[in-house]
Amino acid sequence: MIMEQLLDIILKTNKSSNQILREFVESEKLLWPLAAANYNGLKSVEEKQFQFDGFQIKVQFNPERMRSSAAKVDKQSIAARKCFLCSENRPTEQDAIAFGDRFLILVNPFPIFQTHFTITCNSHIDQRFIPNVKSMLEIAAAMEGFTVFYNGPECGASAPDHLHFQAGESSFMPIATEFEQLKSTARQLYSAAETQVWAFDDYLRKIISVETSSLDEALRIIGIYFTYLQAMQPEKIEPMMNALCTFSGEKWTIHLFPRKLHRPSQFFAEGNDQLLISPASVDFGGVFISPRKEDFDKITKEDIEDIFNQVSLKQDTFQKLTEKIRTDLN
Ligand SMILES: [Zn+2]
């Protein structure tokens, strides 16, 4: 079956990509009962929020995300299951819009966002950041209004064996609105005509943020970041990280979240001490996903601080990383 290209649909219909993608979700809901039920369920999903110093963390109770939060991603479990991103195993109702000759945009049937996509590679290759980050930036540029995100193979990807990104409407994650204000309090690592880079130390999680109108500059800076982080985690298949990428007003905003742990101790605790929270890009963007009602009800501000503290780089390591990047860039 030949998929239509997003860019061809834009030319043919004269609609914005945003409108086309929203209509795509609506058309999937009409012919795919599972997607319809889960998107309708999202309208009544419970949310609460915690206020920190100048920023917010939301918590969403979303039982349909259990399969993702609790996904077994060890080698044996992955080898024993059929890959749900490979075309031969996908539900027949799941349509696709092509992006270039390597990626397909799919409606995610287990949404966190009102408009939630999985952007999957059309071949079964491993989840890796650097060989595919250029595609991520290009996809973000074609999907204005949406944030494209990457979960590392040991940082929340439930299919670490099949390359994919996800995307959802940018306005949903608090970081999108907080960033403009918070960057005045961040450490600036680099400033040039078309590019700025900041480090966030005091935001519960550690973030390196890049704002640039140049694709080449974005790739250069991300490459430098990745090389230094990789040198700090030589035993890993790739350094532990999540990333968010948005394109707006002719420039990219990229948030890089270097990590040291996949799941916090609360995930493995028993009884009342357990919190089934498995942080990935959306959690780092400011929305904790809680698939169990009991966890949603009992999670506290202190739990959120503690979870971010466990999975993010320590301040001294982050300081070393960002100083190397600063020196290299300047
Ligand atoms: Zn696959």
Could you report the per-residue pLDDT of 20-33, keeping only the tens digit for each?
999 999 999 999 99
Residue 64 banded pLDDT, cuts 50, 70, 90:
confident
With residue 66 as reference, give the H or E element that holds it.
helix 66-69
Question: Ligand 1 centroid vs 36 CA: distance in angstroms?
Answer: 24
Question: Ligand 1 centroid vs 90 CA: distance in angstroms?
Answer: 10
Question: Ligand 1 centroid vs 93 CA: distance in angstroms?
Answer: 18
Question: Ligand 1 centroid vs 105 CA: distance in angstroms?
Answer: 14
Question: Ligand 1 centroid vs 285 CA: distance in angstroms?
Answer: 27
Question: Ligand 1 centroid vs 161 CA: distance in angstroms?
Answer: 7
Residue 2 has pLDDT above 70, yes or no: no
Question: Ligand 1 centroid vs 122 CA: distance in angstroms?
Answer: 8
Question: Ligand 1 centroid vs 16 CA: distance in angstroms?
Answer: 30
With residue 283 as reference, give the H or E element that holds it.
helix 281-284
Residue 1 has pLDDT above 60, yes or no: no
Token reading at 112: 């966190």
Q: How many CB atoms lie within 10 A of CB 190?
A: 18
Share of the chain residues as helix, strand and coil, in percent rounded to the nearest 5 = 40, 25, 35
Could you report the per-residue pLDDT of 296-330, keeping only the tens digit for each?
999 999 999 999 999 999 999 999 999 999 999 99
Could you report the per-residue pLDDT of 243-296, keeping only the tens digit for each?
999 999 999 999 999 999 999 999 999 999 999 999 999 999 999 999 999 999
Q: Domains in the chain and their CATH numbers? A: 6-329 (3.30.428.70)
Q: What is the pLDDT of residue 70?
A: 80
Question: Ligand 1 centroid vs 119 CA: distance in angstroms?
Answer: 12
Residue 145 banded pLDDT, cuts 50, 70, 90:
very high
User: Which of 118-124's residues contact partners 24+ apart within 8 Å by CB, and which partners?
Assistant: 118/85, 118/164, 118/165, 118/166, 119/148, 119/164, 119/165, 119/166, 119/167, 120/85, 120/162, 120/163, 120/164, 121/162, 121/163, 121/164, 122/87, 124/83, 124/85, 124/86, 124/161, 124/162
Q: Looking at residues 166-174, what average pLDDT do you find?
A: 97
Question: Ligand 1 centroid vs 118 CA: distance in angstroms?
Answer: 13
Residue 9 has pLDDT above 60, yes or no: yes
Measured on CA atoms in the order 16, 18, 23, 24, is the torsion positive or negative?
Answer: positive
Residue 87 has pLDDT above 90, yes or no: yes
Q: Is the pTM of this model over 0.85?
A: yes
